[in-house]
């Protein structure tokens, strides 16, 4: 059997989408079996990320060309048993589709998107879900949201959690601090937040809470480090740092490599995740796997992923965010407990398990040779990988 994967995100710095698909492909390539994997890639950089077992074919980086012309043409030529996509399937797709829908924030919080982008996602994701043979997602939270919004038009939904890559591990703190000092010129102690700078990630709220934290910890040398690709929202975050008088203590690193992230996670005092909405939250597990104490938002899938291994706050409350960070910084016993529980929690998730469960779905879909139409689809049913 040949399984095709739309891997255009690999090498594109699309953060969560890229981490998911490249980690999944790497783990699947390690599994035994006579089946084959074919990745449709858009960028030369993707070559370095793909295992030798994975076949490659090039498609356009332009989504209209990729979805409207390249993928339909190549699927007719290669005739795989299915194609696995994230969110959006090709037009006129001649093969069964497995789609991963990480979240439906574009439906539940359209204010975090441009009006055009929200409208485009509403149309393309609904069309893809309606014709998919199977829907995958990373959390029970997202599965419930998908079933709710696509009731009557979604096929079976399976929850298959994600994981942190094996490279994320504890490193000697002195070594990590030296690497961060050399690479970025940042002197510990610092708080770390990871994620593209966008309204949904709530970095502006974190900057406000950081300013409040410095007021309750006079004399502190703490800094705030924001690692993530800048967007138009970055100007708002920078302006907040200037307005609140913490610009000199706030560092904007932009997109950083996994190797840099490894040392940042290990050198930080706390990892802070103030997001309003997440379908899973891989950075939580990455930070935990490195032994970083985690404080995070109590919204969406984050409590499900972190479980008891994080200290939670309401992202709408600056006061709660300040209190959570202060408590984790000042209470040694609490911080050590968060580190210990975080390491245990991260170890419960592996890409090998994710790959095994995903391959099981591939085989089911291929065996059924499912090509459902919107009119014949059953009511949404949620299962667990």
For the segment 81-122, what is each residue's pLDDT rounded down to a tens digit? 999 999 999 999 999 999 999 999 999 999 998 999 999 999
Please state the domain count of the chain: 2
Q: What is the pLDDT of residue 378?
A: 38
Confirm if 37 and 3 have CB atoms less than 8 A apart: yes
Count of helix runs (H) and strand runs (E) in the chain:
16, 14
For 19, 108, 131, 133, 368, the CA distances from 157, given in Å and listed in that order, are 21, 19, 13, 10, 16
Same domain membership, residue 156 and residue 98 = yes
Assigned domain for 266 exists: yes
* 153 has pLDDT over 80: no
C-beta atoms surrounding 172 within 10 Å:
9
Same domain membership, residue 42 and residue 7 = yes
Model's pTM, two decimal places?
0.91
Assigned domain for 168 exists: no
Same domain membership, residue 355 and residue 343 = no
Please give the Cα distance from 107 to 13 (Å, whole number): 24
Same domain membership, residue 340 and residue 191 = yes
Assigned domain for 98 exists: yes
Assigned domain for 36 exists: yes
Please give the Cα distance from 85 to 154 (Å, whole number): 15
CATH of the domain at 275: 3.40.50.2000
Same domain membership, residue 361 and residue 340 = no
* 376 has pLDDT over 50: no
Assigned domain for 249 exists: yes
Confirm if 60 and 54 have CB atoms less than 8 A apart: no
Assigned domain for 111 exists: yes
Same domain membership, residue 95 and residue 238 = no
Domain that holds residue 294: 173-347
Same domain membership, residue 335 and residue 256 = yes
Please give the Cα distance from 102 to 142 (Å, whole number): 7
What are 21-65's pLDDT values in tens digits?
999 999 999 999 889 999 999 998 888 889 999 999 999 999 999
Please give the Cα distance from 356 to 362 (Å, whole number): 10
Assigned domain for 334 exists: yes
Same domain membership, residue 111 and residue 70 = yes
Same domain membership, residue 121 and residue 49 = yes
13 pLDDT tier (thresholds 50, 70, 90): confident
Same domain membership, residue 182 and residue 305 = yes
- In terms of Cα–Cα distance, which of 162, 134, 145 is closest to 104? 145
Q: Give CA 78 to chain center in angstroms.
A: 30
- In terms of Cα–Cα distance, which of 107, 106, 97 is closest to 154? 97
* 135 has pLDDT over 80: yes
Q: What radius of gyration do the chain's Cα atoms show?
A: 21
Q: What is the pLDDT of residue 377?
A: 34
Same domain membership, residue 42 and residue 12 = yes
Same domain membership, residue 203 and residue 97 = no
For 280, the 3-state DSSP assignment is: coil
Assigned domain for 132 exists: yes
């Amino acid at each position: 059997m040949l399984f095709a994967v739309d891997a255009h995100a690999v090498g594109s710095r699309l953060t969560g989408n890229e981490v998911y698909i490249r980690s999944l492909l790497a783990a699947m390539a390690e599994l035994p079996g006579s089946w084959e994997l074919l990745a449709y890639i858009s960028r030369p950089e993707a070559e370095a990320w793909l295992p030798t077992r994975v076949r490659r074919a090039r498609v356009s980086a332009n989504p209209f060309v990729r979805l409207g012309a390249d993928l339909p043409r190549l699927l007719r030529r290669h005739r795989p048993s299915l194609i696995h996509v994230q969110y959006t399937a090709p037009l006129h797709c001649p093969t069964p589709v497995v789609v991963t829908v990480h979240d439906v924030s574009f439906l539940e919080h359209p204010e975090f998107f441009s009006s055009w982008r929200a409208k485009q996602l509403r149309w393309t994701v609904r069309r893809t879900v309606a014709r998919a043979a199977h829907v995958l997602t990373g959390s029970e939270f997202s599965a419930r949201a998908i079933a709710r919004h696509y009731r009557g038009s979604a096929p079976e939904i399976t929850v298959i959690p994600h994981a942190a890559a094996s490279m994320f591990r504890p490193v000697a703190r002195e070594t990590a601090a030296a690497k961060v000092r050399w690479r970025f010129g940042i002197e510990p102690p610092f708080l770390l937040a990871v994620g593209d700078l966008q309204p949904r990630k709530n970095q502006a709220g974190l900057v406000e809470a950081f300013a409040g934290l410095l007021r309750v910890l006079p004399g502190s040398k703490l800094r705030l480090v924001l690692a993530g690709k800048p967007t138009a929202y970055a100007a708002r975050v920078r302006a907040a740092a200037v307005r609140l008088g913490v610009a000199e203590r706030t560092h904007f690193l932009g997109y950083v490599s996994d190797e840099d992230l490894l040392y940042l996670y290990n050198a930080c005092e706390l990892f802070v995740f103030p997001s309003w909405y997440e379908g899973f939250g891989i950075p939580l597990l990455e930070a935990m796997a490195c032994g970083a104490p985690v404080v995070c938002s109590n919204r969406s899938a984050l409590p499900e992923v972190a479980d008891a291994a994080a200290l939670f706050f309401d992202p709408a409350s600056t006061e709660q965010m300040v209190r959570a960070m202060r408590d984790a910084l000042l209470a040694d016993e609490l911080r050590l407990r968060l580190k210990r529980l975080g390491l245990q929690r991260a170890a419960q998730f592996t890409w090998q398990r994710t790959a095994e469960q995903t391959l099981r779905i591939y085989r089911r879909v291929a065996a059924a040779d499912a090509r459902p139409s919107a009119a014949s689809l059953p009511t949404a049913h949620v299962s667990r990988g």
